[in-house]
A and B are shown apart, each in its own frame.
Chain A
Amino acid sequence: MSREDVLVSAAWSEENLTTPGVVFVEVDEDTTAYDGGHIPGAVKIDWKNELQDPVRRDFVDREGFEKLLSAKGIANDDTVILYGGNNNWFAAYAYWYFKLYGHDTVKLLDGGRKKWELDGRPLDKEQVERPATEYKAQEQNLAIRAFRDEVVDAIGNKNLVDVRSPDEFSGKLLAPAHLPQEQAQRAGHIPSAINVPWSKAANEDGTFKSNEELAEIYGEAGFDGSRKTIAYCRIGERSSHTWFALHELLGHEDVKNYDGSWTEYGSLVGVPVELGTGKEG
């Protein structure tokens, strides 16, 4: 798979805003940004209210995803271009989620909203209405989604890539530094995990680094290309960004995202937890 199959530039996007069969979708946890101005023609998906089950900690089911995409006016053969704030975290999560439900023609706008805004490209507040479709989803492709037992079994034999910041990894913080630190779970990381913060994969403007740079970053951190891989963070969206870098850009075959991530693992009874940098031993 080449970079062009999974990533589009802001310049390409601006030229293709009205191309038939191309649908732009802004994804974020907080959709205030969309409401204040979005890429012309883009529809929005609310990460929290539309992609998560309202009661259980899980995703909306297959029928729920079909209903959502049908209502958004997205067809099975549309090319979906995802973008969002927070350096594309939630857009990368949505990308992985679209792949999970079998939508093949999905791409990320490189750099997301940040790059678009820094470039001074147009945003508008037009209400976007697309005619409803009859979207059909597949069963979840669990080759890209890891669950907790699999993660515990992976200790010491798969690449466990913890993509949180060094202070979250070592146990000094429980959440990224832009959030209050009120979480209940234990601090630390999964034993044998390597720490490669998601941000290492991105340039300052939010675009992904080159494949050569990415290969060097993960290689230096101790990533073993011959092993299977599970990426995690706190709730699974920063690790979607890294899943994208490892699986979609670098082409590593067996890479899963653990969406339960630290908020689940750090609350489990009886599992091992490691503190510190992981390099003291």
Chain B
Amino acid sequence: MSSGCGAPPQGGAVEVGSNEVVVSGKVRSDGAPVGGAFVRLLDASGEFTAEVVSSTEGDFRFYAAPGKWTVRVLYRNASGQADVVALGPGVHAVEVALN
């Protein structure tokens, strides 16, 4: 059991349990990965669910319940968001461009 509630390191290989729904992806600005961005997972009603900080490679990962999600990203003087439909187990990829 993880002792705390802080986010684990982002990026790298992911082992997905047979029933786990993983929403994972990258933050980019003009095509380049953005590390240190605040990545928020919002549910279908726009309600906050979780937040992580992107890795130096711009990677982020959430372990969600099945559903429709929005990934919203905040960075200094910039933001961006993208929708992802993750109805079943497995890794659901999404890229978010900052503007």
Contact assessment for B5 and A175 in the assembled complex, using a CB-CB cutoff below 8 Å: yes
Which residue of chain A has its CB nearest to the CB of B61? A178
Let me know if A48 and B3 touch, CB within 8 A.
yes
**Residues A177 and B47 in contact, CB atoms below 8 Å apart:** no
Within 8 A of A (CB), among B78-99: none
Which of A33, A176, A178 has the most chain B CB atoms closer than 10 A to its own CB? A178
Report if A189 contacts B (CB, 8 A): no
A179-B2, A180-B2, A183-B1 are known; give 9 further A-B pairs, CB within 8 A.
A30-B4, A117-B36, A117-B76, A167-B65, A177-B63, A177-B65, A179-B7, A179-B63, A199-B48
Give the 4 A-B residue pairs with the shortest CB-CB distance, closest first.
A29-B6, A29-B4, A177-B50, A199-B48
29 contacts between A and B (CB under 8 A): A28-B6, A29-B3, A29-B4, A30-B7, A47-B4, A48-B3, A52-B3, A90-B6, A172-B65, A173-B65, A176-B49, A176-B50, A177-B41, A178-B8, A178-B41, A178-B52, A178-B62, A180-B2, A180-B17, A180-B63, A181-B17, A182-B1, A182-B2, A182-B17, A183-B1, A199-B47, A204-B40, A235-B5, A263-B1
Bound-complex Cα distance A52 to B61 (A):
27
The verdict on B34 contacting chain A, using a C-beta distance below 8 Å, is no
**B10 to A: closest C-beta gap in Å:** 9
Among residues of B, the one whose C-beta sits closest to the C-beta of A170 is B65
**Interface set, chain A 155-188, CB cutoff 8 A to B:** 165-167, 172-173, 175-184
Q: Known: A167-B65, A180-B63. Contact between A85 and B6, CB under 8 A?
A: yes
Which residues, 13 to 63 on B, are CB-close (under 8 Å) to A?
Answer: 17, 20, 36, 38, 40-41, 43, 47-53, 61-63
- Is A197's CB within 8 Å of the partner chain B? yes
Interchain CA distance A114-B50 in the complex, whole Å: 14
In angstroms, Cα B3 to Cα A253, docked, is 30
Is A229 located at the chain interface by the 8 A CB criterion?
no
**Given A117-B76, A120-B76, A181-B17 in contact, is the A234-B5 Cβ separation under 8 Å?**
yes
Contact with B along A114-150 (1 / 0, CB 8 A): 1001111000000000000000000000000000000
Return A238 CB to nearest CB of chain B, in Å: 6
Interface flags for A42-61 (1: CB within 8 Å of B; 0: not) read 00000110001000000000
Q: How distant is the Cα of A234 from the Cα of B75 in the complex, in angstroms?
A: 28
Q: Determine whether the beta carbon of B38 is less than 8 Å from that of A166.
A: no
Q: Nearest chain A CB to B77's CB is how many angstroms away?
A: 8
On chain B, the residues within 8 Å of A178 by CB distance are: 7-8, 41, 50-52, 61-63
A181: which B residues are within 8 A, CB to CB? 17, 20, 63
CB contacts under 8 Å to B, within A208-249, are 233-235, 237-238
Distance (Å) between the CB of B51 and the closest chain A CB?
7
- Cβ–Cβ < 8 Å partners of A114 in chain B: 38, 74
Q: When the two chains form their complex, are residues A118 and B74 in contact, meaning their CB atoms are under 8 A apart? A: yes
Cβ contact within 8 Å between B51 and A87: yes
From A173, which residue of chain B is reached at the shortest CB distance?
Answer: B65
A89 at the interface (CB under 8 A from B): yes
CA distance A89 to B6 in the complex (A): 9
Most buried by B among A199, A205, A234: A199
Residue of A with least CB distance to B2 = A179
Chain B residues near A165 (CB-CB < 8 A) = 49-50
Cβ–Cβ < 8 Å partners of B41 in chain A: 177-178
Complex Cα–Cα for A173 and B47 (A): 16
